[in-house]
């Protein structure tokens, strides 16, 4: 990006890059509001105002104010603490071999469950369920329209969509039907304790063993967290020994 000076306050220049950096510091909703010509003008005005306060602070020698010095000392201490911790954590390395070994030793933890994505229509009577099924099969009404107009389940507001779920989450009769259907099938009525269901399967995944590449990132995060905790704890013990004579805990 070509640098363009938008304003000067004494020797300080405010550029288009400063505006872009200011936008990046905002949360997405605020950034969207300010990422307009008018919004950028407001940001520029705000940056100018901040510089004016900085000039005023210098003129009043606020950098020599005792409260300011105490706050700066506190900030510096906290930054040094975090920098020291980050330096320790950054020393932790993780190899592909470690990840692969963990995967092989814990394969049973990386088995994908069988899942299905489905929609349903829940009604009180088998007669109404059969009537709706006939209308759906004859294209008099779509499954989604029937769900919105006739289902007693709150999912009717989402065209009957139940989302994606694994085996073991739904009542047995409903689950047995869903996991014996193919993608795109519409079947029913299926009777459960809730009433009579018409079911449309949107998708099916058989599940099975996840490959290493599928879970490598997950394993890496877990192992890195574990190793960093170990290194952090070890470092704490070393520091307690090193500075033992300086630490006094009051009862």
User: What average pLDDT does the structure give for the chain?
Assistant: 95
214 and 105 both lie in a single domain: yes
118 and 196 both lie in a single domain: yes
Q: Which domain holds residue 188?
A: 114-206
* Domain assignment of residue 248, yes or no: no
Distance from C-alpha of 130 to C-alpha of 186, rounded to nearest angstrom: 12
CA dist 154 → 49, 150, 157, 160, 196 (Å): 52, 11, 6, 8, 15
pTM for this entry:
0.61
198 and 219 both lie in a single domain: no
1 and 31 both lie in a single domain: yes
194 and 216 both lie in a single domain: no
178 and 103 both lie in a single domain: no
120 and 200 both lie in a single domain: yes
221 and 98 both lie in a single domain: yes
* Domain assignment of residue 178, yes or no: yes
Does 1 have pLDDT greater than 80? Answer: no
87 and 199 both lie in a single domain: no
Share of the chain above pLDDT 90, in %: 92
* Domain assignment of residue 98, yes or no: yes
CATH number at residue 146: 3.10.50.40
Distance from C-alpha of 157 to C-alpha of 153, rounded to nearest angstrom: 9
Tally the domains of the chain: 3
**pLDDT reported for residue 249:** 84
* Domain assignment of residue 250, yes or no: no
Between the CA atoms of 43, 48, 53 and 57, what dihedral angle is there, to the nearest 10 degrees?
Answer: 130
202 and 234 both lie in a single domain: no
Rg, Å, the chain Cα set: 31
Share of the chain above pLDDT 70, in %: 100
* Domain assignment of residue 251, yes or no: no
139 and 100 both lie in a single domain: no
């Amino acid at each position: 990006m070509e640098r363009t000076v938008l304003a000067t306050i004494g020797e300080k220049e405010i550029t288009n890059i400063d505006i872009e950096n200011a936008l990046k510091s905002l949360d997405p909703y605020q950034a969207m509001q300010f990422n307009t010509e008018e919004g950028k003008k407001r940001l520029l005005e705000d940056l100018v105002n901040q510089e004016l306060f900085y000039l005023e602070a210098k003129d009043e020698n606020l950098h020599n104010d005792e409260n300011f010095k105490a706050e700066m000392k506190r900030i510096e201490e906290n930054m040094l603490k975090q920098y020291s911790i980050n330096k320790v954590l950054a020393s932790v390395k993780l190899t592909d071999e470690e990840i692969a070994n963990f995967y092989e030793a814990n394969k049973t933890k990386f088995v994908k469950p069988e899942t299905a994505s489905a929609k349903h229509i829940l009604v009180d009577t088998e007669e109404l369920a059969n009537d709706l099924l006939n209308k759906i099969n004859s294209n008099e009404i779509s499954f989604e329209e029937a769900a919105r107009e006739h289902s007693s389940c709150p999912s009717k507001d989402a065209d009957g969509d139940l989302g994606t779920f694994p085996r073991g989450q739904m009542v047995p009769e409903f689950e047995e039907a869903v996991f014996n259907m193919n993608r795109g099938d519409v079947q029913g009525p299926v009777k459960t304790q809730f009433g009579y269901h018409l079911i449309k399967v949107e998708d099916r995944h058989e599940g099975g063993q996840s490959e290493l590449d599928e879970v490598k990132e997950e394993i890496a995060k877990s192992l890195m967290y574990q190793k960093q905790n170990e290194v952090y704890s070890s470092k704490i013990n070393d520091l307690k020994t090193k500075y033992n004579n300086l630490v006094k805990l009051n009862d």
